[in-house]
Amino acid sequence: MERIVILTGAGVSAESGLGTFRDTDGLWTRYDLEEVATPEGFTRNPGLVHEFYNARRANTLAATPNAAHVALARLERDWPGEVVLVTQNVDDLHERAGSTALIHMHGVLTGALCAACGHRWPAPRAMNMSDLCPSCDRAATRPDIVWFGEMPYQMDRIYDVVARADLFVSIGTSGEVYPAAGLVEEARMAGAETVEINLEPTRRPGLFDEVIAGQASRAVPAWVERMIASKGG
Ligand code: OAD
């Protein structure tokens, strides 16, 4: 077992103080996702959408990686084969923990994107609707976040790494949002073993070969330790 692909979701960052989406008191119980996480919502009320992501950017800046992020960076460093992290999270806690082989399929809070010309640049702490694009000079600045109804980033590359995986691990995600939720089936079809690490089992029995129930900050370091020990590390 050499190539590992890991899909992470909001549960990995929960213990860093960043909220999840669908748990009791999750973001989608307090905000209407149609208003803050769709292109239509942004057209209707860009100020509200910027406010929502400005608040999330501020929370992320104040947060620090937890033991789960740190363990996944260690796995990339110490595993003799390839480790690729595919994250649905828009925070930057994986990279701050040291992960480098990382794909942000739902975009990043640290990025700004011009809706008019597609130019990308580092987001300021607070963005607003009058910000001008440094390339085309138009006021069409949006967060570089994938909204509902938009295609996640780098799907070709993601399907490619999943098709080559020997082991696929899903951590801290409810499996409610596609195409991310379908990657486990892709991995199984390609012959990979599958593992889920989550507070509780999320999906139909048998979809994952192994299910580890627990908090990411404990369960992920323990699993990484076991993986590295299995290679004599
Ligand atoms: P969800 O909020 O849907 O699911 C988070 C999962 O993490 C749940 O299954 C929780 O049980 C689990 N969890 C919570 N705390 C945990 C902990 N400490 N340790 C381990 N697991 C824990 O979040 P995602 O699956 O990431 O998309 O959501 C997927 C996408 O839906 C997001 O990327 C976002 C959202 O709408 C966009 O904004 C496009």
CA of 132 to the centre of ligand 1 (A): 33
Please tell me the residue having the least CA distance from ligand 1 atom 6: 173
pLDDT digits (tens, 9 = 90+) for 172-224: 999 999 999 999 999 999 999 999 999 999 987 889 999 999 999 999 999 99
What residues act catalytically? 106
Q: How confident is the model at residue 145 (pLDDT cuts 50, 70, 90)?
A: very high
Output the pLDDT for position 111: 98
64-110 confidence digits (pLDDT tens): 999 999 999 999 999 999 999 999 999 999 999 999 999 999 999 99
Query: Cβ(39)–Cβ(149) under 8 Å?
Result: yes
Tokens of 49: 């959408």
CB of 117 within 8 A of CB of 135?
Answer: yes
The percent of residues above 90 in pLDDT, for the chain, comes to 93
CA dist., res. 225 & res. 71, Å (int): 8
Instruction: Kindly give the distance from the C-alpha atom of residue 13 to the centroid of ligand 1, in angstroms, as a whole number.
Output: 9
| Atom 2 in ligand 1: residue holding the nearest Cα | 21
Residue 165, C-beta contacts closer than 8 angstroms, at least 6 positions apart: 3, 4, 5, 187, 190, 192
Q: Does residue 194's CB lie within 6 angstroms of at least one atom of ligand 1?
A: no
- CA 122 to ligand 1 centroid distance, Å: 25
Residue 1: band (very low, low, confident or very high) from pLDDT cuts 50, 70, 90: low
Q: What pLDDT score does 232 carry?
A: 77
Query: To the nearest whole percent, how much of the chain has pLDDT over 70?
Result: 99
Please report which confidence band the pLDDT of residue 24 belongs to, taking 50, 70 and 90 as the band edges.
confident
Mean pLDDT of all residues in the chain? 96
Close Cβ partners of 33 (under 8 Å, ≥ 6 residues apart): 148
3-state SS of 95-128 is HHHCCCCEEECCEEEEEEEECCCCCEEECCCCCC
- Which of the four pLDDT bands, split at 50, 70 and 90, describes residue 23? confident
Residue 215: CB atoms within 10 A of its CB come to 17
pLDDT at 233 over 70: no
Give the nearest ligand 1 atom to 9 CA. Answer: 26
Per-residue pLDDT band for 38 (boundaries 50, 70, 90) equals very high
Which residue type does 109 have?
A: L
Over residues 6-24, the mean pLDDT reads 95
Return d(Cα 3, Cα 1) in angstroms, integer: 6
Pocket test for ligand 1, best of 27, 30, 198, 220 (most atoms within 8 A of CB): 198
> How many CB atoms lie under 10 A from the CB of residue 149?
10
Question: From CA 120, how far away is CA 139, in angstroms rounded?
Answer: 14
